[in-house]
Structure 1
Amino acid sequence: MPLPILIGAVAAGAAILGTGAVITAKDNFDKAKSIANDAENKYNEQKKEFEKKANETEALLAELGKIKVKVQSTTMMDFVKAYKQISNIDYKNKNFTNSVFKEKISPQEVRRIENNSMKASDLFSSGFQGISTGVLAGLGATSIATTLGTASTGTLISTLSGAAAQKAALAWLGGGALSAGGLGIAGGTALIGGVVAGPAILVTGAILDSKSEKALTEATNYAAKVDVAIEEMKTAITKFIALDARVFEVMKALEIVNAGFVKEIKQLQAIVKNNSTKINFHELNVKEQEILYKAQQFAQAVNALLKIELMKEGEIMNTQSKKVLGEVGELFQQ
């Protein structure tokens, strides 16, 4: 029942309640409506700002997702093809420089890289057709190896476009970054359970109970919930800004490392291109062995960057990303 009609109904009962009681009730109803309307307006303004920033961050993560897929499907695939043409790789008693990553890539990891590269090629060759921004953002925010590793090659695009991928795409947002007093996240939009329906419903419920004081209390409680929601959205925006900075760092690192990696791969390809059979590592000269070693170092650096999880359970994964970025930086300082 609309608020004016209800207030009119109360006024019609003045003979029973008394003029003073009706005036007090009407004042309470007016105050309740004003408080709730003001709160709703504040909430809507903050929600616009939150959604704008969330969309910007999602787009940035989606761009990183595309870069990851491109690097995985091209550079990493080129490396694996050349690397697999050399057998009996053994760096013991070798004193090569650029030894940030001490261990050679295991055969299991080579197979994983190759498998993920083939899957990434499906996405890259399709021009990302049928893949939503949310899914690409998920690829940007999480380990590409984990995401691609869960889908079979033949059904990759449909799998990533399904419900499971939608959950993964939202994981970067925190899966509940706004979680106070009934607040939650759905599809990147802050929702207030029960309250977002509007102050009129709250006030109407109070009037139906014939308690204007309750209407005022309900409106005040609503305003308090809105204040909590606004603070949660402000906190989330701060997280998005910090996440943006980390995304730019990873993008820059991938750009620099991948450029160096491409150069090393070309040298490696020159070593193996004229051989139809595998080359024994020990038959390579020292310079060729070092080229292979440096290419592997770059492969491990790129692989580590592709595996970075930028968000997990609503928090920015600073520790892991800082460690990886630090190791990558060391590779270029030597």
Structure 2
Amino acid sequence: MPIPLIIGAAAAAAGLYGAAKGVSGAIDQSNAKGINNDARSLVETANKDLEKKRQSANNTLEDYGQRKLRAFNGVIADFIETFQKLKNVELSQSPELDKLNAGDFSNKTFPGLTQDYQALKDAGLGLGAGLGSGAALAFGAYNGTMLLATASTGTAISSLGGVAATNATLAWLGGGSLAAGGYGMAGGMMVLGGVVAGPALAIFGHVMGNKGEEALNTANTNMEQARTISDEASLISSKLVTIEEVTALANTTFSNVSSRLRRAVSELRKVIDNEGVDFGNYTEQSKAVVFSAVKFAQLLKAMVDTPILDKDGNLVTATQKRILDVKEVANGAKSSLDSVEK
């Protein structure tokens, strides 16, 4: 065979091989682009869902914190003022409240309520005052002792610059970014109860600048990262849902107990108007009114002392059961008050 024909055949073969590689590379590039877009979409969806859960949990905790403050400036203040008028009060222990560690009213509950109320007034959160969003969040998440201990150090609890900003979970729930550069989850670490999500890459590699096979490998790596981020975001979302559910239960229970205490204080005022302030001279029915008011005050104090989150931002696992116990006792106490009024 003449040499020129051999060279021509080899060149043609090389050309066909190159064309095949080019087609393969183009397909890889196209696949890589599709995978990369899917990875980016997966992370964006996870971030959007997580943001909705964050905002919802934040709003529920803030609402609970505002409710607590309204109770201190309303029904709790009314109870303190009314109960302090009584003389020679003798109270028996309640087995129902003993299991909540709220049975010792004279030496524990009443002084504690008075101290908490005074601390709030000293912090500028007395009647007519309101909580900033950060403080409302912290007041909803923490119990009175944890929050007021912070206030006693001189930290203002009326702004996000107080306790909420020092806690990673509360700072994030309140909308603060824990990420380097302020990209939310992207470019940094986001912590909630020990679960770490990130880094969620804002841009998943520039696959189009790579060769076909290299681009495909990069895109597959990006997809694995995206799946990991999505799974971690789902774990955090489930934690947020649980926090919101427990907080909503606490909010409803606190509201019910507050309403019943308000009703009991109203009955107690009638007793004082009719029979004076000496408990020793009261009829059994009037003494029962005093006992009912005291019981609801104890239950409300038990709620104030029950945190949703601990100081590290984790959900307190025992909280839900304690709230349900308070709810059960409150329902029993309501029946007792109904029979007294009849």
Change (3 A) 1:172 1:143: farther
Separation in 2 of the partners of 1:274 and 1:153?
A: 45
Aligned to 2:62: 62
Residues 267 and 289 of structure 2 are in contact (CA less than 8 Å); yes or no, is this contact kept in structure 1?
Answer: yes
Change (3 A) 1:174 1:136: closer
Change (3 A) 1:126 1:224: farther
TM-score (norm 1): 0.70
- Structure 2: unaligned runs, 5 residues or longer: 1-17, 179-184, 337-342
Change (3 A) 1:172 1:110: farther
Separation in 2 of the partners of 1:169 and 1:274?
A: 54
Paired residue secondary structure (2:96): coil
Question: Could you give the per-residue CA deviations for residues 150-209 of structure 1, whole angstroms, max 9, x where no partner exists?
Answer: 204986445x43153223583497999xx9xx85249xxx9632x4231135x48x95xx
Shift of 1:108: 4.7
Paired residue secondary structure (2:205): helix
Aligned to 2:181: none
Aligned to 1:250: 250
2:97 to 75, 95, 101: 101
Shift of 1:20: 7.0
Residues 54 and 173 of structure 2 are in contact (CA less than 8 Å); yes or no, is this contact kept in structure 1?
Answer: no
Paired residue secondary structure (1:101): helix
Shift of 1:299: 0.6
Aligned to 2:224: 224
Is 1:164 equivalent to 2:163 in the alignment?
Answer: yes
Residues 147 and 163 of structure 2 are in contact (CA less than 8 Å); yes or no, is this contact kept in structure 1?
Answer: no
Question: Could you give the per-residue CA deviations for residues 45-78 of structure 1, whole angstroms, max 9, x where no partner exists?
Answer: 2211221222122112211211111112221122
Change (3 A) 1:294 1:149: farther
Separation in 2 of the partners of 1:245 and 1:325?
A: 13
Aligned to 1:5: none
Separation in 1 of the partners of 2:256 and 2:215?
A: 61
Aligned to 1:299: 297
Aligned to 1:326: 325
Structure with bigger gyration radius: 2
Shift of 1:254: 2.0
Separation in 2 of the partners of 1:262 and 1:58?
A: 28
One-letter amino acid of the structure 2 residue matched with residue 307 of structure 1: D
Separation in 2 of the partners of 1:22 and 1:185?
A: 46
Shift of 1:261: 0.6
Shift of 1:237: 3.0
Shift of 1:41: 1.5
Paired residue secondary structure (1:199): coil
Aligned to 1:110: 110
- Structure 1: unaligned runs, 5 residues or longer: 1-17
Separation in 1 of the partners of 2:155 and 2:232?
A: 38
2:190 to 173, 184, 189: 184
Residues 88 and 280 of structure 1 are in contact (CA less than 8 Å); yes or no, is this contact kept in structure 2?
Answer: yes
Change (3 A) 1:149 1:290: farther
Aligned to 2:82: 82
TM-score (norm 2): 0.69
Change (3 A) 1:241 1:233: same
Aligned to 1:7: none
Change (3 A) 1:72 1:253: same
Is 1:198 equivalent to 2:196 in the alignment?
Answer: no
Separation in 1 of the partners of 2:65 and 2:296?
A: 20
Separation in 1 of the partners of 2:309 and 2:249?
A: 14
Residues 310 and 317 of structure 1 are in contact (CA less than 8 Å); yes or no, is this contact kept in structure 2?
Answer: yes
Residues 62 and 140 of structure 1 are in contact (CA less than 8 Å); yes or no, is this contact kept in structure 2?
Answer: yes
Question: Could you give the per-residue CA deviations for residues 96-142 of structure 1, whole angstroms, max 9, x where no partner exists?
Answer: xx76224231435433322322444543645526x12x432332233
Separation in 2 of the partners of 1:235 and 1:165?
A: 22
Residues 46 and 230 of structure 2 are in contact (CA less than 8 Å); yes or no, is this contact kept in structure 1?
Answer: yes
Separation in 1 of the partners of 2:328 and 2:114?
A: 25
Residues 155 and 162 of structure 2 are in contact (CA less than 8 Å); yes or no, is this contact kept in structure 1?
Answer: no
Shift of 1:27: 5.5
Residues 68 and 144 of structure 1 are in contact (CA less than 8 Å); yes or no, is this contact kept in structure 2?
Answer: no
Separation in 2 of the partners of 1:288 and 1:166?
A: 48
2:130 to 128, 131, 140: 128
Aligned to 2:39: 39
Aligned to 1:287: 285
Paired residue secondary structure (2:190): strand
User: How large is the RMSD of aligned CA atoms in angstroms?
Assistant: 4.1
Change (3 A) 1:239 1:246: same
Question: Could you give the per-residue CA deviations for residues 217-241 of structure 1, whole angstroms, max 9, x where no partner exists?
Answer: 4432321121122122233333333
Q: Which has the higher contact order (CA 8 A, sep 6+)?
A: 1
Residues 246 and 308 of structure 2 are in contact (CA less than 8 Å); yes or no, is this contact kept in structure 1?
Answer: yes
Separation in 2 of the partners of 1:259 and 1:117?
A: 18
One-letter amino acid of the structure 1 residue matched with residue 302 of structure 2: A
